[in-house]
A = this chain, B = another copy of it.
Amino acid sequence: MARRARACEDPRMQPAQLRILVTGGTFDKSYDELGGKLHFAESHVPEMLRLGRSRLDVVVETLMLVDSLEMTDVHRGRVLAACRAAPEDRLIVTHGTDTLELTARAVGAARLPKTIVLTGAMVPYTFGSSDGLFNLGSALAFAQTLPAGTWVAMNGRAFPWDDVRKNRGSGVFEECGPPPA
């Protein structure tokens, strides 16, 4: 009986209430047949949650569907406002990887009393070789266990918002390294 009580007391073990804020990026790119190009139609995140057979209590809110290279401070301000306004205190933000670290800093610096995990994908979910499902499973798990703060979940790891960047050559996320002397 003792152990079961312990499980119930552990707040991480309650069916988590989470909100996923969708901004687009490669996570949600689709192929537009008639135009022969990539474009955004609807978010794939609900379908990915079904595929993962998620039984978490999750709300998916599409804020925008843009390539992160096109995001400005206005977009990032909307992301921060949505994080602030969300009733949940555990959030995920799906985002293009190109400027994900900029949005992580904008949100992180606000020091909201919430666990906020940003993630993205290098290959569109609609392609065969996508990291999207892996990253979504990863981000959902980190969002349930990490303490309040803003984090980036990529490549299987979680980085604090103020010590992460995308390596442009390899496409991999890494720490920023020691500050210059």
A interface with B by C-beta (< 8 Å): 1, 3-4, 6-7, 10, 12-13, 15-16, 26, 31, 33-34, 36-38, 48-49, 51-56, 67, 69, 96, 98, 122-124, 126-131, 133-142, 144-146, 153-160, 162-163, 168-169, 171-175, 178-179
Contacts and interface: CB of A to CB of B under 8 A. Distances in A.
A153 B130 CA distance: 21
Contact of A137 (B15, B38, B56, B141): B141
Contacts of A34: 168-169, 171
12 contacts: A3-B160, A3-B163, A6-B160, A26-B36, A51-B129, A51-B131, A52-B155, A53-B154, A53-B156, A54-B156, A133-B133, A141-B153
Contact of A138 (B138, B159, B162, B173): B138
A94 to B, nearest CB: 14
A156 B140 contact: yes
Given A122-B33, A123-B31, A158-B13, A51 B141 contact: no
